[in-house]
Structure 1
Amino acid sequence: MANLSPGSFFLQTNGNSNPAVASAGSLKPIVVSGNPPTFVSAPGRKIIAVGDLHGDLRKARSALHMAGVLSFDDQNLWTGGETVLIQLGDILDRGEDEIAILSLLRSLDIQAKMKGGAVFQVNGNHETMNVEGDFRYVDSGGFDECTDFLEYMSDSDDDWEETFSGWFDVSERWKEARSMSSSYWGPWNLVKRQKGVIARSILFRPGGPLACELARNPVVLKVNDWVFCHGGLLPHHVAYGIERMNKEVSHWMRGLSENDSSPKIPFKATRGYDSVVWNRLYSRDMPDLQDYQINQINSILEETLQAIGAKAMVVGHTPQITGVNCKYNCGIWCIDVGMSSGVLNSRPEVLEISGNGARAIRSKRDRYSELQAVEYT
């Protein structure tokens, strides 16, 4: 492995190294293996995990402020230094600022790498549903944003990276201009809806611009000795190979296939109740379970963690009425709090992992409140 200066970011993809130099820091460089990223070594970094956002930009910004990685002004600057930020999927559906959130996270990732940090996203079931063309949960404003973004892409002379990361800064102006237009049709006009569906299909179909953007993200990510996924990882997933699953989902989203047929949807990762993005085994309310069920689930979790070499797993997907919490001797952290106004409209909370400890935090009148803290041996 190449020798890199402290604070640099080293990306290893399919056996090839591609270093992106960052500003000097006090920690050893982050090393990422896999394409999309699957295994990450981030020595000494604080890790912040954020759950489902579902198109609610205001709540997303609040969570990022709370995490200490986003400036409070309008400059949208990364303030996390060498922190590693992980978002656990379901950015799409039920809200009107989905692409803006994706754009913001991309912009923060670019900035974070220059400071010795990084931003990772894990795809959830709503990301895979949209690439499949399942738009059942798309908000009317989400269709509007797709129409605006497609036009913005056509008008832009910049390359994709600049166009995409810059959308966050202009999306609100496009939204305001649309609402003030004399030709604005209102939220339920059928012609406007059809236009939005077509735009979304172009953007999210396999091989489409936003599907290819999502293809950069894994469905399972292991950072140090923690594993992150949207629904939940099971022993047979680990046996199948998490890097293999990540590659299969990425190829499908990119519209790639080994033959002339359409790429097959990766079943183990994206389909079925026990797939990685749909699994709810670990996030069910424990009072609803019998003792023998709790013991069985705990045994499955222990087997999974041992197989992948992790101390704990972090999942989203299932809104937790009680907020961020851990279960099964804190082998599982559930961090979907339903913060989006399209879900529970609850107060944002995040998980902070630092050293041998993890804690759930939330904002209360602009002051941070620790909800639960656990030390790992």
Structure 2
Amino acid sequence: MPLRRSLRLSCALLPSALLLCTSVAAREVPQPAEHVDADGPYVFLTAKGREAEWVCNDHVVRRTLPARDDASVVLPECGYPHPLHVLSPRTAEVAQYPATPRIVAVSDIHGQYGLLVTLLRAHHVIDAQDHWSLGNATLVVAGDVFDRGPQVTEAFWLLYSLQQQAHAAGGAVHFVLGNHETMVLYDDLRYVNPKYLKSAQLLGRSYPALYGADSVIGQWLRTRPVLLKIGDTLFLHGGIAPDNLDLVRDMDSTNATYQASVGLPRDQVKAAPDSARLFDGKTSPIWYRGYFDGQMDTAQVDALLGQLALKRIVVGHTSMPHVSSFHGDRIIAIDSSIKNGENGELLFIEDGKLSRGLLDGSRVPLAEGTMGLED
């Protein structure tokens, strides 16, 4: 049965005299797919150690993995094509770092693993075997691996593996949570690719339970930040509204509250006094779009950055055709519509200089942003 949608059109006149129309979709959860070619692994902690599960051509494959010291090696069956080194749970990631000479950033992968690999290979972030090759540089992923596309599992394992490899090379990979991570984990499945609902059926769990606290990727997600500061640049998925400056000033507390909320019921996190603001669908750090829809002009953005002692804010969430500069390089939008599965771009920050990397491996200046919104 196809996904049913009802649409309404909302328009607003911006100060720039541009008419902004946004399509707001009321969606239902899709029906599970009829077939799963390849998905996995999903790795869970058990009384005996760890267990890996795959769905290969609609057939469930399970393998017990006795823990060896701190890690287990998971060899591929189907789905993610590379061996994995699965580590014991880690503590929450530090979210404030000194400036580093080279940062590469990307956002809103939405299950488009193949396109992500092509883009990272083209710019030598990874090599032909998909191993980290950026040395002591830093890769930041600004949320939204979940939903829409057909290779969410593979994308998560790639980032999980690259984080280990980058650390060993003196570099870093940071993943900050997006709104679709929180949505899936509190059981909002309107955007889930039907393939994964079928996988969940075959594996005997709900889809959120495949990323539960007993799963390796689920545990990893529960230690990711929402706010990440490197030097004078703030990375997050949505944006910081003027009323939420305190969330950045007390970044460690903000991240800890998000992490403690991951996987709790939606109604609970939206109602609880300590987390309601963090999940507000219009103003929270994982949802805010005010830099692009006329809520804030350049003077207001400049004032906000000054109050936070930042040079720029880098965000995903609001889809653009290119990695784009807004408000005089104060806001950099890096959701380059990878979710469509056709194209994508990287942001480079090298000794303070900004550029974007294209799918063919070339580097060009940032695009000049134009007002517009897309979920």
Question: Is it true that 1:368 corresponds to 2:368 in the alignment?
Answer: no
Question: Is it true that 1:123 corresponds to 2:177 in the alignment?
Answer: yes
Q: Which amino acid aligns with 2:239?
A: G
The 1:232/1:50 distance shift into structure 2, 3 A limit, reads: same
**Any residues of structure 2 matched to 1:267-282 within 5 Å, and which?**
267-282=276-291
Tell me the equivalent position of 1:307: 307
What whole-Å deviation, never above 9, does each CA across 1:89-113 have from its counterpart, x for those lacking one? 1100001211211111111111111
Tell me the equivalent position of 2:96: 39
Where 1:363 maps in the other structure, the secondary structure is coil
- State the Cα distance separating 1:255 from its structure 2 match: 6.1
Count of matched residue positions in the alignment of Structure 1 and Structure 2: 271
CA contact under 8 A between 2:354 and 2:365: conserved in structure 1? no
CA contact under 8 A between 2:111 and 2:151: conserved in structure 1? yes
Question: Is it true that 1:84 corresponds to 2:138 in the alignment?
Answer: yes
Q: Which amino acid aligns with 1:37?
A: V
The 1:77/1:207 distance shift into structure 2, 3 A limit, reads: closer
Mapped partners of 2:171, 2:99: distance in 1: 9
Mapped partners of 1:326, 1:143: distance in 2: 37
CA contact under 8 A between 1:350 and 1:360: conserved in structure 2? yes
- State the Cα distance separating 1:210 from its structure 2 match: 3.7
Question: Is it true that 1:250 corresponds to 2:259 in the alignment?
Answer: yes
CA contact under 8 A between 2:145 and 2:181: conserved in structure 1? yes
**Any residues of structure 2 matched to 1:1-377 within 5 Å, and which?**
35-43=92-100, 45-72=101-128, 75-144=129-198, 147=200, 194-195=201-202, 198-205=205-212, 209-240=216-247, 241-253=250-262, 266-284=275-293, 289=294, 296-321=296-321, 323-340=322-339, 344-364=340-360, 367-372=361-366
CA contact under 8 A between 1:358 and 1:373: conserved in structure 2? no
Higher strand residue share: 2
What whole-Å deviation, never above 9, does each CA across 1:125-180 have from its counterpart, x for those lacking one? 00010111101100022334x54xxxxxxxxxxxxxxxxxxxxxxxxxxxxxxxxx
- State the Cα distance separating 1:215 from its structure 2 match: 1.5
What whole-Å deviation, never above 9, does each CA across 1:255-300 have from its counterpart, x for those lacking one? 69xxxxx98882222222011111111134xxxx5xxx6xx43233
CA contact under 8 A between 1:131 and 1:206: conserved in structure 2? no
What whole-Å deviation, never above 9, does each CA across 1:201-255 have from its counterpart, x for those lacking one? 3123567654322112111100111000101012332214222111001112276
Q: Which amino acid aligns with 2:306?
A: Q
Give the TM-score taking structure 2 as reference length.
0.66
CA contact under 8 A between 2:241 and 2:290: conserved in structure 1? no
Mapped partners of 1:237, 1:207: distance in 2: 33
The 1:60/1:363 distance shift into structure 2, 3 A limit, reads: closer
Tell me the equivalent position of 2:59: none
What whole-Å deviation, never above 9, does each CA across 1:180-199 have from its counterpart, x for those lacking one? xxxxxxxxxxxxxx446834
CA contact under 8 A between 1:62 and 1:348: conserved in structure 2? no
Q: Which amino acid aligns with 1:84?
A: T
Mapped partners of 2:117, 2:278: distance in 1: 29
Where 1:227 maps in the other structure, the secondary structure is strand
The 1:249/1:207 distance shift into structure 2, 3 A limit, reads: farther
Mapped partners of 1:66, 1:332: distance in 2: 25
CA contact under 8 A between 1:84 and 1:119: conserved in structure 2? yes
Tell me the equivalent position of 2:24: none
The 1:234/1:263 distance shift into structure 2, 3 A limit, reads: closer
- State the Cα distance separating 1:356 from its structure 2 match: 2.1
Mapped partners of 2:363, 2:209: distance in 1: 43
CA contact under 8 A between 1:88 and 1:315: conserved in structure 2? yes
Mapped partners of 2:297, 2:229: distance in 1: 21
Mapped partners of 1:263, 1:234: distance in 2: 20
Structure 2 unpaired stretches of 5+: 1-90, 266-270, 369-375
- State the Cα distance separating 1:326 from its structure 2 match: 0.3
CA RMSD of superposed structures (Å): 2.7
Higher helix residue share: 1
What whole-Å deviation, never above 9, does each CA across 1:70-106 have from its counterpart, x for those lacking one? 112xx32110001100001110000121121111111
Mapped partners of 1:300, 1:102: distance in 2: 36
Mapped partners of 1:58, 1:359: distance in 2: 23
Mapped partners of 1:345, 1:107: distance in 2: 23
The 1:205/1:307 distance shift into structure 2, 3 A limit, reads: farther
- State the Cα distance separating 1:38 from its structure 2 match: 1.8
The 1:109/1:210 distance shift into structure 2, 3 A limit, reads: closer
Structure 1 unpaired stretches of 5+: 1-33, 148-193, 257-261
Mapped partners of 1:252, 1:211: distance in 2: 13
CA contact under 8 A between 2:314 and 2:334: conserved in structure 1? yes
CA contact under 8 A between 1:255 and 1:263: conserved in structure 2? no
